[in-house]
Structures are given as structure tokens and as C-alpha cells.
């Protein structure tokens, strides 16, 4: 089955820890995205990558980092510099026209 997988589904972080969220796609899409979703708000773009070894900051990149070493993988690291990381994180990939989403990771700071 073609699609986007995210792991883990739930993640708990202690204050001061860095954590990495995984995103893998087998759709052969060049473009991949990370969004953050908070209750009652739309999706906000964290980082995106149009091609391997290249990525750009989105609207709320502070406190996050990414890498794009392989076409199918786009991991997101939430660093200790992100002051309010508790949220639902969604990974997406895109053809020219249409965007496809993974199932999401819910991150909670303890």
C-alpha cells in the first residue's frame, strides 16, 4: 500500500529533552511537509522540503529542526528550545496538485 507513515503515534517528552518524530513515504513524492496542529486552529507549517538535501523554514520553525537525506524520509526534531511543544504533528507529501497526510504524532510534554 502506498502512503505516509508516522511514528510513534504518541510521544512523551520531559522538559529539556530533544525528541525526533519519524515520517516515511513510499509515494515517490519530492515534496514533504511538517505541520503543527493545536486545538481550534488550522495547520501551521513548520518546515518543508522540495527535494533531497534541501529544506526551508515555514511559519513556525523556531525550536524545530529537520533533515532530508533520503527522498522517502523527513524526520522532525523538536528541540528543548521549543517552549510549548505539546501539539499534534502531521507530516505530508505532495504531488504538483494534491497533498497527502500521515496519521499524525501526538507529542505531550510532561
The site for another protein (CB under 8 A) is made up of 4, 6, 33, 35, 40-43, 45, 88, 90, 92, 94, 97-104, 106
13 vs 106 by CB, closer to another protein? 106
Nearer to another protein, 16 or 42 (CB): 42
* β-bridge partners, 23: 6
Q: How far apart are CA 86 and CA 16, in angstroms?
A: 13
C-alpha to C-alpha distances, 108 to 15, 39, 51, 54, 84, nearest whole angstrom: 10, 13, 30, 29, 10
Which residues share a beta bridge with 55? none
**Shortest Cβ 76–another protein spacing (Å):** 15
Q: What is the DSSP letter of 83?
A: S
Distance of closest approach, residue 16 Cβ to another protein, in angstroms:
27
Q: How far is the CB of 43 from another protein (least distance, A)?
A: 4
User: Which residue number, 38 or 81, has a Cβ lying nearer to another protein?
Assistant: 38
Amino acid at each position: 500500500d502506498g502512503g505516509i507513515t508516522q511514528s510513534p503515534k504518541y510521544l512523551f517528552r520531559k522538559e529539556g529533552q530533544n525528541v525526533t518524530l519519524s515520517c516515511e513515504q513510499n509515494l515517490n513524492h519530492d515534496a514533504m511537509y511538517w505541520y503543527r496542529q493545536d486545538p481550534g486552529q488550522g495547520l501551521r507549517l513548520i518546515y518543508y522540503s522540495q527535494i533531497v538535501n534541501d529544506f526551508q523554514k515555514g511559519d513556525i520553525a523556531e525550536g524545530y529542526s529537520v533533515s532530508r537525506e533520503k527522498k522517502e524520509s523527513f524526520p522532525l526534531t523538536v528541540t528543548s528550545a521549543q517552549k510549548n511543544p505539546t501539539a499534534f504533528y502531521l507530516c505530508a507529501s505532495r504531488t504538483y496538485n494534491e497533498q497527502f497526510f500521515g496519521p499524525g504524532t501526538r507529542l505531550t510534554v510532561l
